[in-house]
Amino acid sequence: MQTVFHLIAADPQQQRTALTIAENLTDDNAVEIEDIAIVAQADGIEPLTAGGDGSDMVESLLEKGIAVKACSNTLELQDLAESELVDGVETVPSGGGELTRLQSEGYAYIRP
Amino acid sequence: MQTVFHLIAADPQQQRTALTIAENLTDDNAVEIEDIAIVAQADGIEPLTAGGDGSDMVESLLEKGIAVKACSNTLELQDLAESELVDGVETVPSGGGELTRLQSEGYAYIRP
Amino acid sequence: MQTVFHLIAADPQQQRTALTIAENLTDDNAVEIEDIAIVAQADGIEPLTAGGDGSDMVESLLEKGIAVKACSNTLELQDLAESELVDGVETVPSGGGELTRLQSEGYAYIRP
């Protein structure tokens, strides 16, 4: 099974909860998870920025093999360069496009 | 691929972000999108009302061929007539039913 | 068709809206719904606790045959015992795992 998490909430506490739910999924032995991805956009981009609030959790998730993807439209809108993101974060043309593509491949969608 | 956006947040800024993400999807050449729908219910109905906050964006999305659907339960609860909606907005018996139906047809689901 | 609702919002009004949308789905004759489930986690657990705000609605949904599931990680984090939950509520190892499992079985996902 495969799961994509949609990180879009602005509230830092809500963002941390979202990342914790992703992490907990890696520890759930009741389901066989092959791939986990996180797609972040709008205000949800903050934890993906180097030194940003929650970036410690994103680094830890990347180390566990979770794919973390930033929406390029958001980067442009917030005047953020790719070099300002946590090392290992990928970019995708649009968050909506990536979320559609992954679901069409069979990923379950979770929006914490 | 097909995508349905769930418009339910009460915050006007969050509603505008949701509609922007839908619009950005029409510009993403990395994915082949055939159909986009928006299902609005509860407080998310506001941008679908004629003259409502965000209705300019809904009009623009309708012109681009995006289907915009209002939950009839919400209309009844808020004492709104179909004639008060932006021209071109459809109604569906229930938001939950329509979101289920579209996903069962293969639509990806995104809740901004 | 089958539908799972994700109950995670902290706001009591938003929780009641979520439960109302689940209830409305049982009344929508335009779609043939076989199974409805609710998976609650984080702050969304409150209506599943006996005597908690919204627990009257959860009791009513259980009577209608809707499956209501509490995330065990959340119970542990909030120091809640299973005996403190509304009678009939099940527990699952993790909310994210259960939401993935149900979607992989064909459930539509709705996050009010």
Q: Are B67 and B90 in contact (CB under 8 A)?
A: yes
Is the ipTM higher than 0.90? The answer is yes
Neighbors of chain B with 3 or more C-beta pairs under 8 Å: A, C
Global pTM exceeds 0.95: yes
The partner residues of A108 in beta bridges, in order of sequence, read A3
- Judging contacts by C-beta atoms under 8 Å, the chain C residues touching residue B97 are 24-25, 28, 30-31, 33
pLDDT for C4-17, tens place per residue?
999 999 999 999 99
Q: Torsion over CA of C87, C90, C96 and C102, rounded to 10 degrees?
A: -120
pLDDT band at A31 (very low <50, low <70, confident <90, very high): very high
**C:34-93 residues touching chain A, CB 8 A cutoff:** 41-42, 73, 92-93
Question: Which residues in chain A touch residue B21, judged by CB atoms under 8 angstroms apart?
Answer: 41-42, 94-96
Please judge whether A100 and B24 are an interchain contact, meaning their C-beta atoms are less than 8 angstroms apart: no
Partners of chain C (3+ Cβ pairs below 8 A):
A, B
φ/ψ of residue B105, rounded to 5: -85, -5
Interface contact C3-B42, CB threshold 8 A:
no
Cβ atoms of A87 and A78 within 8 Å: the answer is no
Chain A residues whose CB is inside 8 A of the C95 CB are 21, 24
> In the structure, what pLDDT confidence band is assigned to residue B79 with cuts at 50, 70 and 90?
very high
Kindly write down the DSSP assignment for every residue of B7-53, as one continuous string. Answer: E----HHHHHHHHHHHHHHHT-TTS---EEEEEE-GGGGGGGBTT-T
For all residues of chain C together, what is the average pLDDT? 97
Across the range B27-31, mean pLDDT stands at 94
Shortest CB distance from A108 goes to which of C94, C95, C104?
C104
Contact C16, C46 (CB under 8 A): no
| DSSP one-letter string for C30-71 | TS---EEEEEE-GGGGGGGBTT-TTHHHHHHHHHTT-EEEEE
Nearest chain B CA: its distance from A103 CA (Å)? 6
Residue C84 burial class via C-beta count within 10 angstroms: exposed 0-12, middle 13-18, buried 19 and up = middle
Report pLDDT digits (tens) over C46-66. 999 999 999 999 999 999 999
Closest CA to A72 of A52, A108, A97, A55: A97
How would you list the strands of the sheet with B67-71, edge to edge?
B90-92, B67-71, B35-40, B2-7, B108-110
Neighbours of C14 (CB within 10 A): 20
The half-sphere exposure of B60 on its side-chain side, counting CA atoms within 13 A, is 12
Write out pLDDT tens, residues A37-78.
999 999 999 999 999 999 999 999 999 999 999 999 999 999
What mean pLDDT do residues C16-29 have?
Answer: 96
With bands split at pLDDT 50, 70 and 90, how would you rate the model's confidence at B2?
A: very high
C33 touches chain B (CB under 8 A): yes
Q: How far is CA C15 from the centre of its chain?
A: 10
CATH number at residue C94: 3.40.1260.10
What pLDDT was estimated at residue A104? Answer: 98
Hey, CA dihedral for A76, A79, A82, A87, is it positive or negative? negative
Local structure of B97: helix, strand or coil: helix
Which residue from B105, B111, B39, B101 is spatially nearest to B68, judged by alpha carbons? Answer: B39
The domain containing residue B31 runs over which residues?
2-110
Looking at the structure of chain B, the number of domains it has is: 1
> Which residue on chain C is closest to B5 by alpha carbon?
C110
Q: Do C25 and B97 touch (CB under 8 A)?
A: yes
Place of tokens 């809206």: C17
Q: Crossing angle of helices B12-26/B55-63, nearest 10°?
A: 20
From the CA of C17, how many Å to the nearest CA of chain B?
8
Nearest-CA distance B79 → chain A (Å):
30
What distance in Å separates residue C56's CA from the closest CA in chain A?
Answer: 24
**Residue A76, both tokens:** 């442009």
Contacts of C98 in chain A (CB under 8 A): 31
B106 contacts on A by Cβ (under 8 Å): 104
Q: Which residue has the tokens 């702050």?
A: C43
**Matching residue, tokens 């939401």:** C99
Distance from CA of B1 to the nearest CA of A (A): 7
